Amino acid sequence: MLTLEKFEEATEVVKKVILETKLVYSDYFSEQTGNKVYLKPENMQFTGAYKVRGSYYKISTLTDEERAKGLITASAGNHAQGVAYAAKLFGVNATIVMPTTTPLMKVNRTKGYGAETILFGNVYDEACNYALQLAKEKGYTFIHPFDDLAVATGQGTIAMEIIKELPTVDYILVPIGGGGLATGVSTLAKLLNPKIKVIGVEPANANCMQVSMKNKKVTTLPNVNTIADGTAVKTPGSKIFPYIQKNIDDIITIDDEELIVAFLDMVENHKMIVENSGLLTVAALKHLEAKGKKIVSILSGGNMDVITMSSIVQHGLIQRDRIFTVSVLLPDKPGELVRVADIIAKQQGNVIKLEHNQFVSINRNAAVELRITLEAYGHDHKVQIVQALKDNGYDPKFLQANP
């Protein structure tokens, strides 16, 4: 059972290993939503995510014999680091099975804490089945990333901190993968104040908990496809499912495109790196039908590799019309390129790439193609630049911008 006494015990235990993550008030998101929005920055934990809470508390409840057997788990990255780090503190061996799609940074950090890492399967569920097989064969003690009441209790310590710091909180937004974090946070929140609304947030293409809630039973999705790798789970936890049914007030789903924009918002307005799964609760703010409420978005982690980060930034700029590409046809004669560049410069547009194709037509005097990739301040500025080209006799055509 998840009891208040257990949550209080876990809160004292995890204090030994966590960093203090004070709420951050967001002027930007508050203004955007008409609410008072606070961020719970678990991306700032030592391991880069909240997962160390549940891992450390779970291991603390094991017997010496269970720990001596060696630990094993499966994870897309953050639970892996949590178990590896906690195991190192307890002085026990840990084996981590990770999907082959896990970002390299998460794999390397897990190894850095001294754990043996095995890459297996394309999604978490496949890695988990293999880890369970190894546990049976070699006698390891399995630490489930979410379908474990002790792990969920450790994760729920986040709610204790939120409510102590902001007793009048109205809504807590929590990411859902398998459901461990949502179970702990929602159960403790309701124990402390039943009036608090706890909203789960899932990727639209990995909404196993939403489907399970609708079916009133644990349901496995045929497949998952999302950039939020930490929440790419096909089957939610069965042990924790009754707690989710009882304590989660609603579930919001988020498209991947929304996470891309949310990443830009966090970097530009809060100077914080938050991984895609952690951005679910930020993207969900605009879907919440609430005004004038105190809302806490849990930023569950910040473990994102640089290549992924670069790609998301580029796609985000394109989505927001801050980078775009146009094609214009112009005569192949001296001065035409300078003329186009001058029009763009007068509108404060910044050219970042040019492609000049003389072979688009056999009549080069009539038309050569100039493809221009530009940086703008946003949609209105983009429209202004394009209109200036039209006013000067050109007929710009929009092309797909390549990040």
Rg value, the chain, Cα: 25
Query: Which of the residues 40, 51, 197, 234 is marked catalytic?
Result: 51
Tokens of 79: 């639970």
> Which element (helix H / strand E) includes 254?
strand 250-254
**From edge to edge, which strands make up the β-sheet containing 141-142?**
116-119, 94-98, 71-74, 141-142
| Angle at the Cα of 137 from the Cα atoms of 132 and 143, rounded to 5 degrees | 35
Query: Three-state SS for 375?
Result: strand
* 97 strand-pairing partners: 74, 118
Query: Is 300 among the catalytic positions?
Result: yes
Tokens of 374: 């530009």
Based on DSSP, count helices (H) and strands (E) in the chain, helices before strands. Answer: 17, 14
> Which residue in this structure is represented by tokens 């609603």?
250
d(CA 314, CA 316) in angstroms, rounded, equals: 5
Query: Is 138 among the catalytic positions?
Result: no
* b/e per residue 313-325 (b: at least 16 CB within 10 A): eebbbbebbbbbb
Closest-CA residue to 230 (of 272, 185, 279): 279
> Which element (helix H / strand E) includes 352?
strand 350-357
Query: Three-state SS for 37?
Result: strand
Query: Which of the residues 75, 186, 212, 300 is marked catalytic?
Result: 300
Catalytic positions: 51, 300
